[in-house]
Amino acid sequence: MADSFGPMRDGDADDGVVGMGPDADSPRKEPIRVLVVDDHALFRRGLEIVLAAEEDIQVVGEAGDGAEAVEKAADLLPDIVLMDVRMPKRGGIEACTSIKEVAPSAKIIMLTISDEEADLYDAIKAGATGYLLKEISTDEVATAIRAVADGQSQISPSMASKLLTEFKSMIQRTDERRLVPAPRLTDRELEVLKLVATGMNNRDIAKELFISENTVKNHVRNILEKLQLHSRMEAVVYAMREKILEIR
């Protein structure tokens, strides 16, 4: 199989994947358990072949639609669910919420041909930690799986650009330019959230605020719990929406 899935839509392929700081500090002892969900059996098989070559990644199951994905996730409890957006019976975004309920520790990466902003926003809202277009190379899929397993959010560059453009438009549509404090966060948690929203990882945040990395991790966990968010990516969306961080 070639080293790329090949272009799945018109346009040039993206150069890499945009990520937000990893949380893990030590080498992984067990392989990352992956559930592959796509309505095309040939594509699922291609992913399995590619990922089988990775010593630290293990495909533990596959599903052809969102409904089957929820059942398999509950049974297999994978670390990562690699899932298409548009599928028959039940779509990937709709399945996200249910998967988070039956397998709370599973992290979901949408792997799709859809470059629609609405799908990206809905996926983030539903709890997805990554959003990748199928035009990325096979090497990037494995890299993204490792990054998300380590606590990083992953998004294809063209989609990240659209996301930031939309955030900027949202901010420019209002005359209010003052920073709005998050109501339930402490001053320190607000500082941490601002730095998370700029894409800094835990290590860099710790250096910036002169605190330990473990303390940063605790703050990030508390922030997500207080705001009822699922991932760092959702935290970025929240920070932009509430104008905690402005894009100039």
Please indicate whether residue 69 or residue 160 has the higher confidence score (pLDDT): 69
Fold of 174-241: Arc Repressor Mutant, subunit A (1.10.10)
| 30-157 belongs to CATH 3.30.420.40 | no
**Whether residue 117 has pLDDT greater than 60:** yes
Segments making up each domain of the chain, as ranges: 30-157, 174-241
Q: Among 36-45, 86-95, 131-140, 153-162, which range has the highest average pLDDT?
A: 36-45
**191-207 per-position pLDDT tens digit:** 898 888 776 778 889 99
Does residue 62 carry a pLDDT above 50? Answer: yes
The Cα 118–Cα 20 span in angstroms is: 21
pLDDT higher than 80, residue 74: yes
Among the listed residues 44, 47, 42, the one whose alpha carbon sits nearest the alpha carbon of residue 69: 44
If you average pLDDT over every residue of the chain, what do you get?
Answer: 80
pLDDT of amino acid 158 = 72
Q: What pLDDT does residue 123 have?
A: 87
Question: pTM for the full model?
Answer: 0.61
Is there a contact between 107 and 81 (Cβ–Cβ < 8 Å)? yes
3-class DSSP assignment, residue 62: strand
C-beta of residue 139 within 8 angstroms of C-beta of residue 133: no
Three-class DSSP category at 67: helix
Mean pLDDT, range 47-69, rounded to an integer: 94
User: Going by C-beta distance under 8 Å and a sequence separation of 6 or more, which residues neighbour residue 12?
Assistant: none
Q: Which of 5, 1, 2 is nearest to 136 (CA)?
A: 5
Report, as an integer, the average pLDDT of 199-218. Answer: 88
